[in-house]
Structure 1
Amino acid sequence: MATLSIADMQAKTGEEIAVSEWILVDQAMIDAFAETTMDRQFIHIDPVKARMTPFGGTIAHGFLTLSLLSAMMEQSDMPTPEGVKMAVNYGFNKMRFLTPVPSGSRVRGRFKLAELDEKRPGQLQQTLEATVEIEGGAKPALIAEWITQIFV
């Protein structure tokens, strides 16, 4: 992971700055997420019933796919501004689930720097255009504008 000056990071605005490794979303991960969140809808956890739906089998929770963004960023080649002490999630401007993620699929994140602004001395706000791709899929699983507060 490269460390760049704030000015060099800002110069990358509009560019794709990171791509993650592929992550397997298997039934065990989906089941664990269902238990953790208490979202046990059958399309996620019952392969027999889920086969009778238009999905043809179980699918990951949309929020599971969204929550994997943190892991995707962590395992990517994402550059960081010099002197980062910590970074925290701030939220999303936009987020859409476009395609369900079937159990057994692999997903990865692609990140484009939309903005990096100094909000106050020692605090930056970064907005990333995040796309979660499904391996072999025609459309992404989700797209989002993800905001992070970075403290330097």
Structure 2
Amino acid sequence: MIIINSFEEYKSYEGKVIGVSNWHRIDQLQINKFAAATLDYQWIHVDEEKALKQGPFESTIAHGYLTLSLIPYLWKQIAEVRNVKMEINYGIENFRFGQAVPVNSEVQLQATVKLITNLRGTVKAVIEAKLIIKGQEKPAYIGDVIFLYHFH
């Protein structure tokens, strides 16, 4: 894990892969809880028997938005940004889902600092987020997340 204490430190990582998170296993319980929270009960996610027999992946798969929602959790394993009054999830851009994440897959986030900008005291960080599936060459997704930081 890297520690970032200031705009200048953040800027020094620009253009660099700064790390990967630990592996996280997405099990059926997590998928079912996400379905309940979002009211998205599409059978490909929650009906294990039907997914096995009729689904293209021979198992249930994680919701795409479930995998996106893991970004803050996995990001905190890669970088700790200190000396901030406030951190805001500002946006996501240019995300593409490359492949489905079957139930019980292990995933990890790879983060690259694309751009750090000082906007009159607010630091805008554009981070390329790539979700890697253990044992797969193609990532689950790749795209940019944008954080705003107000340093002390």
The TM-score normalised by the length of structure 1 is: 0.93
Q: For the residues of structure 1 that align with 2:28 and 2:80, how far apart are their CA atoms?
A: 32
Match in the other structure for 1:104: 104
Unaligned runs of 5+ in 1: none
- Corresponding residue SS for 1:85: strand
Count matched residues.
149
Match in the other structure for 1:58: 60
* 1:129 to 2:131 alignment: no
Superposed CA offset, 1:114-151 (max 9, x none): 01101112x11000000000011111011111001111
* 1:143 to 2:145 alignment: no
- Contact 1:17–1:79, Cα closer than 8 Å, also in 2: no
Q: For the residues of structure 2 that align with 1:98 and 1:131, how far apart are their CA atoms?
A: 10
Q: For the residues of structure 2 that align with 1:91 and 1:3, how far apart are their CA atoms?
A: 21
Superposed CA offset, 1:99-125 (max 9, x none): 10000011110100001101112x110
Q: For the residues of structure 2 that align with 1:5 and 1:119, how far apart are their CA atoms?
A: 14
* Matched-pair identity in %: 36
- Contact 2:7–2:118, Cα closer than 8 Å, also in 1: no
Structure 1 runs of 4+ aligned residues shifted over 6 Å read none
The TM-score normalised by the length of structure 2 is: 0.93
- Give 1:12 deviation, angstroms: 1.5
Q: For the residues of structure 2 that align with 1:65 and 1:40, how far apart are their CA atoms?
A: 16
* 1:10 to 2:29 alignment: no
Aligned alpha-carbon RMSD (Å)? 1.3
- Contact 1:116–1:127, Cα closer than 8 Å, also in 2: yes
* 1:36 to 2:14 alignment: no
- Corresponding residue SS for 1:111: strand
- Corresponding residue SS for 1:2: strand
Unaligned runs of 5+ in 2: none
- Contact 1:20–1:73, Cα closer than 8 Å, also in 2: yes
